[in-house]
Structure formats: C-alpha cells, structure tokens
Structure 1
C-alpha cells in the first residue's frame, strides 16, 4: 500500500519541483538584467552568492523578492521592459535619488502587490503612465522632483488605498481633478504649471502643498467670484451691482480730503504730547516687569514649518531689559558689602563685570523653556550668551547651592557656565557663546540653495559629543540628570563639535515652565519635568538620534498620522517598508555608510524603548556610537587601499 502511494506522489513531485526553480531563477535573472541595463555606479552584488536575497537592497520573504531598495546609488539610464514581469511579488520599490530617465516600463503593471513606489529625485519624463492605475494595493506614491508633464490623470481615483501622493517639482499642467474616492493623508503638487481651483477634498492640506502654481481657493487666495465678491473694475470702484462702475462725486472727494487732514493733525498732536511725557520721565527707572520681551522661539521649539529665520534684535541692550533691577532700584538685593556683582565660577577669567555686561549690545537668540537667551557683545571682553531665567521659585540660598553645582561641572562637551547674577527680580546666567548655534537650527533651518548638507561623519560626531556630555552628567551621581535634552539644547562650535546646554536648570524653575511644546522628547513615564531620571534622559537622547537620522523634528507636520511621535513613526515605517526609507535624503548622498546608519538607528530605537529598564545606559550608548564610528572610518580606509573590484564582478 505504501509503495502504491509513493508511485502516485512521485509524478506529482516531478511536476511541481521544476515550477519552483524557474521562479527563483527568473527573479535572479531579472535582477542581473536590471544591473546590466543601468549605468552609473555598478550595483555591488556578489553574484557568486547562492541566494540573491542576500544582495544589498534586496529583501525576500519565502525566497521571493518583495522589496527592492536602491536609493542614492547613482543609477542612470532607462528602466528596461521585461524586468518587473518576473518580480510580481514586489511590495516596495525604491529607486529615489538617482538619475534614471525616460518613462516607466509597461510591465511594472504586473506588480499588482506593489504598495510603496518611491521614484522621487530622478529624471523620469513624459506623462504619468496609466499602468499605475492597475496597481490596486498602492498606498504610497512619490514621483516628486522629476520631469513628468501633461495633466494629472483623474484615474488616481481608482487607487482607493492611496494615502500618500507627492507630485511636486515636475512640469504638470492643467487643473487638479476631483477625487471623491481618495482619502489622502499626504499630498503635494507644489512647483508645477497647474491652474484652476483647489478641489474641496484637498483644501484641508496646507498652502505648501500648492505653492508655485496658478491655483486659487482654500488654502490659497480666494478665486474671483468666490463668496459673492468680484474683481476690481478698471478705472473705477469694485461693485456687485451688474458690473457698473460707481464714481465718487466732487463733494465726496472734498469731504474725504478734509477729513484726512483733520485726522493727520490730531495724530501729530497726540504724538507731541507723548514725546513730552516720555522726556519728563527719562530719569526715572523702569520696572523690569514692564519690559516686554521679544517673543522669539528657538528653532526646534516649534514645528519646522513655523521656524523663522529671524530672531535678531540688534538694537536691544541688556541694560534696557535689566538696568532697573540692577542699578539703584530699591527692589535689587545687594551682597554683604553693598555691591552688586556677577558671581564667577572656578578659574573663569574675570575680564568683565556687571556694568560691562549691562552696557553690552545684545541680540535675541531665542526664547526657550527656561527663559530668553541673548548674545551680548561687550566693548571690551568676550562675546557671551546671557540667559534670563523665568519662573524661578526657589530661595536665594537654594538657588546658590544648585547653580554652584552646575558651575562646577567641567567637561569639554558641556557649555560651561561662567557666572551668574541673582536678585529678587532678576536671575541671569552667563555662558560661553557658541557661534554655530543649535543642532535644531542646523537641521531644520535654511533649506535653500545655500544650505550645506550634513554628512554622516558630522552627524555621527555630533551624536558622540552629545552622548559624552550627557554621560558625564550622569557620572556625577545616580540622581543627576539633564531633564531637558532636545536638539535646540545641543549647541555647536565652529568645527561642529557638540556642546550640551541647559543642564541643571530643570531644578531651578517652577511647574509653570513645563516644556509642553517639546513633549516629543519626553519619556512616557515622566509626569513632572523637574523629576527626570537618567533613563528618561536616555529616551530623550534616542529621539535626538532619530532626529539626526531622519531629518525630522519630533513634531514634524509631515509625519504619517496626526499626533504620531517620531519613535512610533520610525518603527512603523521600518516594520512596513524597509529601514532605509526613514533616513534623511541628505544622508543618502554619501555612499558606504548604510550599515553604520542602520546600527545607529537600532541604537536610537533601543534608547527610545517604551519601558525604562529596556533602555541602555549612557556609557553603553557612548560606547556603541564610538564603535560604529570606528568601523565606518576603518571601512573607508580599506576601500581606499583596495583596487577597484567592479570589473571583477560578473555582469
């Protein structure tokens, strides 16, 4: 009986086995044909490797190719037809940041399981192909920064699962179709040749999604005729009454002229009175509480879209803000000798005093969690940064004890606190001035043509410097923590060395200074910002690492879902797509560092673990960053010493 069963099964096995081998062979052949067809930097695949699933950028499930990720590898030429018909299990295809030309191959329509298609920053041209609309599972489509032309097809309405559609920086013309079936979460058609009105379903997106076109309607300016308005008529006054012009009579014009003259005289009279009143009080002191501080946010305190390039106030003086509280005002407290002075720490050079500081011209650097910071330029002496603390609720004795412990900390990756001033109405801290500003400003500030991209070496060096500074703080005792780690508190020297600032200040202020605006950095278990553990610091540092790697601020407006924090977003993308899709495009310009970037990403995820006991300590974090930086340097040296092996790889 068993022999009979074997005789029946044997022909079936002989039929099925050949069906498996050719499928795997055809996928391998398709990948090799793709490499051969594209110019530029040859894909460094080891063709002697038995499994093509181990080639860089190729990901498989059950020996079937499901994802191809080849971003920023200098590919050029046109995608050939006949490749993707053998890769029908593809779910993600990423060829972004290359130099691919022409149109999309027709057999891409065979990849009916495709969910994510990333083709941005290439040279693709022609109209948006109809083959895309035969991909029913498509969720994310990015065709931005290419040369696509023609109208935007209404057939996008067929892609009912589509959530992301990026078409900006192309040459698309015509109007935007009405897509009733789509429920887009991300959308951008800026910098095209589009005209007409914005469809109602797309009016929830920001202006940035539509700028650089001839579009109108919400969220842009209203279209002519909207809300019963009409355009101005040439040579007359706007009107809604049958398009007829209304001209003013001579008497009406004369009345307007006389009325305007009377108003002008009245205004001049009021200004003269105010000037006399001000001059009579010139010698009187001004209470510090009446001085209005400029409301300037430190870059990074707001979402990227809200960061302003300004923040300068060159006419402002430290004296204008604090002179009343320090020069004869009865509210100012003096020391035992009756003199009011700065208290310096350790061996800090005393090349200036309080009067020099008050006479210094100042520039507003920003308003942060604990107060407003100024750049103070003195006539004689160094340029320093002065922070005016707000909401300090502790006594002078407590303040002195806590601030002296801060001033005693001396490590090269900390911004040193040089001096302080304490009175009932004013608390000033004097730091070394960091000329390059904050990491937040560097990452999210200037995005224009003059921007210098941050390479991997610079970013990993900043991460290492910040880690060393925080590790030093933690070494001062089990209860010592920073309490407010974020990218705007990582300042940079001219050589881009990281310096940690604002350490020790969380214990000086009251609960009203809770940093709600930077909740993206705060560990889940933290309820009181004045009581932050070292493990909570590690969480915040993990978010900082993710910010360095992704280029996104924790509250970035373009995250996939409203209210999703950066660690959760990264984990969802890695789980759903592939790790490289989370990295900042600026990092993908630099070759041969992907392995180190992935290791840093894993470290960031470990630091931002939900539960404190699963997070590493800062000494371990520092060690891991040092190791991956050393491996990166060693790999670069090895590649310089090795001969070019591209010609030795089989085509």
Structure 2
C-alpha cells in the first residue's frame, strides 16, 4: 500500500515537472520570437534592453512594454510599438511565427522609420483586426494575400512610400471600417469598398484613376484630392460615359486596285445610307409611340390633381354632369358603389381641426414623397396652409366594408407613439388614408440623411427605441383583444415609417396598412405574424446603435460577425461612445435585445410586451 502511494506521488511530481518544463519552454519560445522580431525592427542593438525585454523575464507575466497578452497568459493579443524610432524592417517569417503561436489581433508600428515592404506572410495572421503602419518609410506593393485577413476592421497605412495597385478583392473584407492610405504612390483604381459602412476613409494624394466607389459622397472631398485621374462624387469631375461599341462591319471591301471595287463601295454606301434612313425613321416612330404611352400612363397614375390639363378635365366633367368635380380616382360610378361604402372623406381626428373635403384634397397641390410596394405617399397643402400626408394604397383586395372596419378598429386603439389617422376615403376604385404631415421628417432621415447635422444623442435614441416598442406593444395587445388578431401588427416596420413629432418623439406611421393575412416578409410570402414586427424592430434597434442603414446590406449579418470576433464595441456609432460606463452598458443591453428579436427561430423571439418592458427598464 505504501509502495503504491509512493509511486503515485512520484508520478504526480514527474507530470508537474513536465508541465512546468513545457510551460517554461513555451514562454521561452515566445520570449525569443518577440526579441528577434524587435531586433529586426530596429538597428539599435540595445533596443530590447531599453524596453525592458530581458531574457530571464516572461513577456506576459512581467508585462513587457508594448505587449498585451490573452487571458491564458501564454499568447500575445496586441503588439504596440509606436514612436520608438524603429528604423529596420518587418520580418515576415518571425511575424508569421508570432501569429501562429497565438491569436494576434492588434499590430501597431506607426510613427517610426520602418523601411522595405509589408511581407506577404502577414496573410497567416488571420486573427488580425487592427493594423496601424502609418508614418513610416515602407515601400513596394501591398501583398496580394492581404485580403485574406477576413477579420480586419481597421487598416491605416498613410504617409508611407507604398506604390502599385491595391488588391481589388480588398473590398471583400466585409467588416472593414477604416481604410487610410493617403500620401503614398498608389496607382490604378480604388477597390469597390462598401462605403455605407465605412467610418474612416482617405485615399488623398496618390495616383489613383477611374471612378470613386459608390456612396463616396458621405466623406468630404478632401479625402480624395491629389488624384488627378479620379472622377465621381464628391469630386467636381464627372466620370465620362462608357465608350460606344465599335461600328458593325457589314462586309469586307474589295481590293482598292480593282475597278469594280469603287463601284462596289458606292453600292455598299448607298445601301448603308438607305438602311440607316429606314432605321432612323423606325426609331422616330418608336420614340413617338413610347412618348404617347408614357404620357397616357402619367396622366393615369400621376399625383392628386395637378396641372392645367387635369383642371380643364375637371371643369368639363363638372359642366356636363352639373355635379362637383371628381378626381380620376373617384370615378362617377363609385358614388353608387355596389359595396355600399360612402365616397365622402371620413374624418376621424376631430380635435380642433376643420372638416376636410374630398374635392378640396384632390384639387390641392400634391408633392410625391415616395413610392413603395404597397402604394404611393403624397404631401398635400390645403388652402389655408394645412399640410397632410396622403397614402394611396394599391393592389389591396379588401372590400370597402372590410377596409372601413379595419381603419375604425385601429382608430379606437390610439397610443401617443402611433400616428393617428386623420381621415380616410374608400371606393371600389380607390383607397386613401390621410395623416397630419410631420415636419421633422422620419427616423431614417435623422439617422442616415441628416443634412442639417441635427444632434442625435444616445439618450434621444433610447427614447425613440422606448417609444416605438411601447407603441407597438400597446397596438399588438389592443388589436388582438378586439378580435383583429390576424391584422394586429404593423406589417412594414422600418425607419422611414417612424416619424418624429414636434417634440422629437417617435410616431409609428402607416400602422396596419400592410399587415394582411398574406403579408410578404423578407422576400417570402407567408401568413403575417406579430413576430415579424419583433424582427423588424430588432433591425431598427441595430440602426439606432450602429448609425448604419439596413437597406441594401445585411446589417444583422455584419453585426453578428463583429460580435463573434469579440469586438462588440466596434458595432456602435462612434458619436455615441463616451466615458460614461453606464452609456456603453445600456448600449450593450439594447444590442442583446435586438439580437434576440432577430432570432432565426420565430418561437424563440420575445413578445413585443417583453421588448417594451426591457427597453423601459433601460430608460430608468
């Protein structure tokens, strides 16, 4: 028994010594790799001693200057050697070995005097998210393997001597937020970066040519100057139209020495002229017919009674019938609709506003604000200055009675954060919904098209999030209780449908106008469910947090990729971040709620009431 116990103790001691030896060996390997890499970066033989990098110490445990380690204490997370007068070069083999020994995320060597180029071995550092090499003397082309850094978020290489083309597939790095390459000697075209999601971008003072990426106008012109060959907004130089295709060669000419050659040429020219004449005549006829068709279509689908021709038609119709003028929408037969729905405008909002007449609405000047899948939106100014927004609904199979009942039920469930319907009109041919016009515009405009540079603080954004979720929760509950469960939701929730009141409180507009039993959501036709609204609210929360639009880009996918890389703070709009710990904590909480709302499993999404309660708790 004693012998067995002794053997067990000896075995445990041996394993402990082996583990310690392995750990010591790993630490020693890291020590040697870092010291060798540093000595390649500098010609100063004492640079390691000046930084306190001694052979007997441990880089992580003894916290070497410029080194930040991971939680395991065995691998380097960040290597930051800035402003140290480093005048050597970046050794690719040692850099690769350093990256393979641990997940290196940050490499910053800016504000030194490093020369030569950026080694191709950097492609093995696949966990790199931040690379800062500005203000050095680096030269040569960027390695073609650079786009393999799929986790890269920020790349700063300005004020160097780099030349050649930037790898075109750099734009495939979906999460890149910063690209600064100004004051180099780059040539060729700028990669087609997704500018909507860039925080910082500067390619000034290089030798780039061609057009700038789409949506570059979000950055000032100073970020593109110094490249005489560039064109496109925000530059004042417009890009030339694409070249015309080469002329079609009808046949090969005969040799010029042949007498019949000249005759053949004349015959050929005659044929070409004749054919060209026929083609030109046919083109004129086609253009004339197309013009007539477009004119007819415009007259049929144009804004609410606008222009001299329409006014003339109204007068003629009125003279013949002896009745007040009607719009092309109402059509005289609608007055005696078989559905039994009145053609007059039904007023719902009675608090101090004068009755609005249908003919008055149609004769007023109308401005088209936008067209969508479900209809068009107009701004109408009535005599006396009253402004209204009129939604003209198209392709809706609801009968007049069903439409009226639906509007009435929504009107009974009023909430301070839901824009009330002022009036509505319904006939067999036409359905119009009228709202009071909101001069402060939409949430989309404030977030993504803020030309007036109006401030939009975190407190204001959280107030918007709380107002929207509270309004939706109330409407879901109220309409479900009233027996309108299949149409209890909004159905088309997005930033452009969130308007801002005179006090900058959110107002959900167009509520319920598209939440039909066969609502089309996320590109698929499926029965509408209030969980669709929960998903769409999650997208709005992400837009409030990131400051980035969701239209034309999978914002949720981008956020998931950044969070997965444990760089969650990179998600947030920079203008929101502050020194207050509570602000960042609340932003993290709203981000978690947003991701829960967008869960792929519909049954795992929270209810709208749960979302509203969560956000209300954040307000406190």
TM-superposed deviation, 1:471: 0.3
One of 172, 176, 183 as aligned partner of 2:183? 172
Structure 2 counterparts to residues 17-416 of structure 1, below 5 A: 26-27=59-60, 30=63, 33=65, 60=70, 62-63=72-73, 89-93=102-106, 102-103=111-112, 113=125, 115-118=127-130, 124-127=134-137, 138-141=149-152, 148-154=158-164, 163=173, 170-176=181-187, 191-195=203-207, 197=209, 206=214, 208=216, 213-215=227-229, 221=239, 290-293=299-302, 324-325=326-327, 330-333=332-335, 341-345=344-348, 347-354=350-357, 355-380=359-384, 382-416=386-420
State the alpha-carbon separation in 2 of the partners of residues 507 and 224 from structure 1. Answer: 44
When the two structures are superposed, what TM-score results if normalisation uses the length of structure 2? 0.63
TM-superposed deviation, 1:357: 2.8
Deviations 1:49-95 (A, max 9, x none): xxxxxxxxx8945345665699xxxxxx955589x999973433399
Matched, 1:540 2:550: no
Correspondence for 1:264: none
Deviations 1:203-244 (A, max 9, x none): 996584996533369999469999889xxxxxxxxxxxxxxx
One of 465, 489, 492 as aligned partner of 1:484? 492
Matched, 1:620 2:610: yes
Correspondence for 1:495: 503
Correspondence for 1:595: 585
Greater alpha carbon shift after TM alignment, 412-421 vs 214-223: 214-223
Give the SS at the match of 1:387: strand
TM-superposed deviation, 1:330: 2.2
TM-superposed deviation, 1:413: 0.6
State the alpha-carbon separation in 1 of the partners of residues 330 and 143 from structure 2. Answer: 77
Q: Which runs of 5+ in 2 are unaligned?
A: 31-56, 87-93, 218-222, 248-294, 315-324
Greater alpha carbon shift after TM alignment, 343-352 vs 203-212: 203-212
Cα gap change, 1:176 to 1:409, in 2 (>3 Å): same
Question: Do the aligned residues in 1 keep the contact of 2:192 with 2:213 (CA within 8 Å)?
Answer: no
TM-superposed deviation, 1:339: 8.8
Greater alpha carbon shift after TM alignment, 569-578 vs 353-362: 353-362
Matched, 1:570 2:559: yes
Deviations 1:358-402 (A, max 9, x none): 343333322233222222222336422221222232222222111
Cα gap change, 1:496 to 1:359, in 2 (>3 Å): same
Correspondence for 1:467: 469
State the alpha-carbon separation in 2 of the partners of residues 155 and 11 from structure 1. Answer: 54
Deviations 1:563-593 (A, max 9, x none): xx33233222221342122223333367532
Question: Do the aligned residues in 1 keep the contact of 2:113 with 2:137 (CA within 8 Å)?
Answer: no
TM-superposed deviation, 1:515: 6.0
State the alpha-carbon separation in 2 of the partners of residues 134 and 326 from structure 1. Answer: 62
State the alpha-carbon separation in 1 of the partners of residues 103 and 114 from structure 2. Answer: 15
TM-superposed deviation, 1:420: 0.8
Question: Do the aligned residues in 2 keep the contact of 1:89 with 1:113 (CA within 8 Å)?
Answer: no
Correspondence for 2:425: 421
Cα gap change, 1:64 to 1:387, in 2 (>3 Å): farther
State the alpha-carbon separation in 1 of the partners of residues 404 and 79 from structure 2. Answer: 56
Q: Which runs of 5+ in 1 are unaligned?
A: 36-57, 71-76, 230-285, 295-312, 558-564, 631-651
Cα gap change, 1:609 to 1:206, in 2 (>3 Å): same
Question: Do the aligned residues in 2 keep the contact of 1:175 with 1:194 (CA within 8 Å)?
Answer: yes
State the alpha-carbon separation in 2 of the partners of residues 339 and 158 from structure 1. Answer: 62
State the alpha-carbon separation in 2 of the partners of residues 335 and 159 from structure 1. Answer: 61
TM-superposed deviation, 1:150: 4.7
Deviations 1:158-188 (A, max 9, x none): 9999846777565334342699xxx997699
Give the SS at the match of 1:549: helix
State the alpha-carbon separation in 2 of the partners of residues 629 and 481 from structure 1. Answer: 24
Question: Do the aligned residues in 1 keep the contact of 2:441 with 2:500 (CA within 8 Å)?
Answer: yes
Deviations 1:456-509 (A, max 9, x none): 21222111111011101111215422211111111112332111111121257x
State the alpha-carbon separation in 1 of the partners of residues 167 and 245 from structure 2. Answer: 29
State the alpha-carbon separation in 1 of the partners of residues 427 and 342 from structure 2. Answer: 12
Give the SS at the match of 1:574: helix
State the alpha-carbon separation in 2 of the partners of residues 351 and 161 from structure 1. Answer: 56
Greater alpha carbon shift after TM alignment, 359-368 vs 459-468: 359-368
TM-superposed deviation, 1:614: 0.4
Question: Do the aligned residues in 1 keep the contact of 2:418 with 2:509 (CA within 8 Å)?
Answer: yes
State the alpha-carbon separation in 1 of the partners of residues 150 and 563 from structure 2. Answer: 15
Alignment root-mean-square deviation, CA: 5.4
Matched, 1:583 2:572: yes
TM-superposed deviation, 1:613: 1.1
State the alpha-carbon separation in 2 of the partners of residues 9 and 344 from structure 1. Answer: 86
Give the SS at the match of 1:410: coil
Cα gap change, 1:360 to 1:79, in 2 (>3 Å): farther
State the alpha-carbon separation in 2 of the partners of residues 581 and 538 from structure 1. Answer: 24
Question: Do the aligned residues in 2 keep the contact of 1:545 with 1:601 (CA within 8 Å)?
Answer: yes
Which structure has the bigger radius of gyration? 2
Correspondence for 1:445: 449
Cα gap change, 1:597 to 1:113, in 2 (>3 Å): same
Question: Do the aligned residues in 2 keep the contact of 1:465 with 1:498 (CA within 8 Å)?
Answer: yes
Give the SS at the match of 2:327: helix
State the alpha-carbon separation in 1 of the partners of residues 79 and 427 from structure 2. Answer: 60
State the alpha-carbon separation in 2 of the partners of residues 69 and 496 from structure 1. Answer: 46
Question: Do the aligned residues in 1 keep the contact of 2:347 with 2:356 (CA within 8 Å)?
Answer: no
State the alpha-carbon separation in 2 of the partners of residues 339 and 163 from structure 1. Answer: 58
Give the SS at the match of 2:594: helix
Question: Do the aligned residues in 2 keep the contact of 1:438 with 1:489 (CA within 8 Å)?
Answer: yes
